[in-house]
Amino acid sequence: METAKDVGEGLTIAFVSDIHFGMVLGRWFSKRLVKDLLEIQPDAIVLGGDIIDGNLGFVLKDGSLKELNNLRAPQGVYAVLGIQVISTLWWNTNLCI
C-alpha cells in the first residue's frame, strides 16, 4: 500500500470490528481478545466500531470495556464507536449527538 509517509517495512495493524460486548460476549471474551491481540504484537491496534451490543449497563457492570485498557501497541490503540454504541448511549442516556 502506498502511504504519504514512509512507514518502513513490516508494519502490522490489528483491526477488530463488530465485537458487540454484551451478555453473550462478556468479560471472558474481552480478556481473550486482549490476550490474542497482544500475542501477535502488532504495531498498531484499531477497534473499528460496534464495540457494545445494546446493553451498556451490563457491559459496564461486567467490566468488558475495562479489559481493553490493557491493549498496548507501539504506534497506538485507536477506536471508533460505531452506530451500535451511539444508539446505545442515546437510548440509555437520552444523549443528543
Contact by Cβ (8 Å): 15, 46? yes
Q: Residue 65 has which C-alpha cell?
A: 470495556
Angle, CA of 37, 66 and 96, to the nearest 5°: 110
Q: What is the CATH number of domain 13-93?
A: 3.60.21.40
Question: By CB neighbour count within 10 A (0-12 exposed, 13-18 middle, 19+ buried), where does 67 fall?
Answer: buried
- In order along its 97 residues, the chain shows pLDDT tens digits of 677 777 667 789 999 988 888 888 888 999 999 999 999 999 999 988 788 877 778 888 888 888 889 999 999 999 887 665 655 555 555 544 4
pTM of the predicted model, to two decimals? 0.75
Question: 39, 5, 28: which is closest to 14 by C-alpha?
Answer: 39
